């Protein structure tokens, strides 16, 4: 295990652990206490309190939960959709591939966040504010990278000997897909998923900061910074801690992803 992986995993493990143990260690993120509002970090409130007297540490830790759950949901759905479309596109080729390719091009042309913002806006207006709006809006732009990578892998595998062998023997298309294509695709997809998680977390936090993401009082890092920024002069810790955790989680996923990518490249080097 190389160093990057190690550092990345450690960071992530810590944060995930915090999130899981939230009920045990982090108290109640919703409890307001106007007498204690805007207190700087001290023994009782390690990260201070916010403008409604809520404990920032508690909110940050519970926020880890929220963020992780939402991010994983988004990634999972994007992966399912994207990989399926990519595999179909790469494997069957021809017109199907062309059409799907064009669709992918269109989605690539519009900057992701722009579309996310627009879509969240429309959805929230039409159907009310809901976490699912956020999930849907991000999935719509996020599936594309999975599709592209999967398609690339499938294309390269299509030409490899063992696939041609199987075809010569007369194996069915789905059999080949399942037994050969997918196991080989797992490596790069895992790397992509890891790096993508960082991306998703950043997007969720960005939307939260803009006020378009997960709404208060549910704790979410981006949204906490949004409300915190009004108090930047008097209570900078409201901005500092949530942001720190955003940076750490994204960093963690990026380190892990890079480490995994390195490990995979080394493996293929040895195999050669």
User: Of the two residues 84 and 115, which places its CB atom closer to another protein in the complex?
Assistant: 115
Nearest to 114 by CA among 210, 183, 21, 42: 210
| 172 binds another protein, rule: CB under 8 A | no
Min dist. Cβ of residue 162 to another protein (A): 25
Contact between 205 and another protein by CB under 8 A: the answer reads yes
Query: Interface with another protein by CB under 8 A: which range of 18-26, 174-182, 185-193, 248-256?
Result: 248-256
Examine residue 212 and tell whether it contacts another protein (CB under 8 A): yes
Which residues touch 169 (CB under 8 Å, ≥6 apart)?
Answer: none
CA distance 26 to 256: 27
The Cα angle at residue 158 between residues 153 and 159, in degrees rounded to 5: 110
Q: How far apart are CA 194 and CA 146, in angstroms?
A: 12
Within 10 angstroms of residue 227's Cβ, the number of other Cβ atoms is 17
Q: Is 69 in the site for another protein (CB under 8 A)?
A: no
50 forms part of the interface with another protein (CB under 8 A): no
Which contiguous run of DSSP H or E holds residue 73?
helix 56-92
Site for another protein in 113-142 (CB under 8 A): 113-115, 117-123, 125-127
Please choose, out of 57-65, 67-75, 179-187, 231-239, the segment that lies near another protein by the rule CB under 8 A.
231-239
Asked if 263 touches another protein (CB under 8 A), the answer is no
Burial of 184 (0-12, 13-18, 19+ CB in 10 A): middle
CB of 141 to another protein, least distance (A): 11
Nearest to 33 by CA among 56, 64, 67: 56
**By CB under 8 A, is residue 103 in contact with another protein?**
yes
By the 8 A CB rule, do 84 and 149 touch? Answer: no
Query: Is residue 198 a contact residue for another protein (CB under 8 A)?
Result: yes
How far the first Cα of the chain sits from its last, in Å, is: 20
Asked if 106 is part of the footprint of another protein (rule: CB under 8 A), the reply reads yes
Based on DSSP, count helices (H) and strands (E) in the chain, helices before strands: 11, 0
Nearest-approach distance from CB 244 to another protein, in angstroms: 8
Q: How far is the CB of 150 from another protein (least distance, A)?
A: 20
Residue 14 touches another protein, criterion: CB under 8 A: no
Our CB check for another protein shows the closer of 48 and 185 to be 48
Q: Give the shortest CB-182-to-another protein separation in angstroms.
A: 29
The kind and range of the H/E element at 113 are helix 112-127
Residues that bind another protein (CB under 8 A): 102-103, 105-106, 109-115, 117-123, 125-127, 198, 202, 205-206, 209-212, 222, 225, 229, 232-233, 236, 239-240, 243, 246-248, 250-251, 254-255, 258, 269-270
């Amino acid at each position: 295990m190389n160093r990057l992986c190690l550092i990345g995993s450690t960071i992530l493990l810590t944060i995930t652990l915090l999130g899981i143990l939230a009920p045990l260690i982090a108290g109640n993120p919703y409890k307001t206490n106007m007498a204690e509002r805007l207190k700087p970090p001290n023994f009782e409130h390690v990260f201070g309190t916010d403008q409604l007297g809520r404990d920032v540490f508690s909110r940050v830790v519970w926020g880890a939960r929220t963020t992780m759950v939402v991010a994983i949901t988004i990634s999972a759905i994007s992966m399912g959709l994207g990989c399926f479309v990519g595999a179909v596109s790469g494997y069957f080729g021809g017109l199907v591939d062309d059409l799907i390719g064009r669709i992918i091009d269109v989605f690539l042309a519009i900057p992701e966040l722009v579309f996310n913002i627009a879509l969240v806006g429309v959805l929230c207006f039409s159907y009310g504010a809901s976490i699912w709006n956020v999930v849907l809006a991000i999935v719509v732009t996020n599936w594309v990278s999975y599709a592209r990578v999967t398609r690339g892998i499938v294309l390269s595998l299509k030409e490899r000997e063992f696939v041609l062998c199987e075809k010569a023997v007369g194996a069915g298309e789905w059999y080949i897909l399942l037994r050969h294509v997918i196991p080989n695709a797992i490596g790069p997809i895992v790397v992509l998923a890891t790096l993508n998680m960082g991306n998703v977390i950043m997007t969720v936090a960005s939307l939260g900061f803009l006020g378009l993401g997960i709404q208060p009082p549910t704790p979410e890092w981006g949204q906490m910074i949004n409300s915190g920024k009004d108090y930047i002069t008097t209570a900078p810790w409201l901005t500092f801690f949530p942001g720190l955790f955003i940076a750490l989680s994204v960093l963690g996923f990026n380190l892990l992803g890079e480490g995994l990518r390195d490990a995979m490249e080394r493996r293929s080097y040895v195999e050669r």
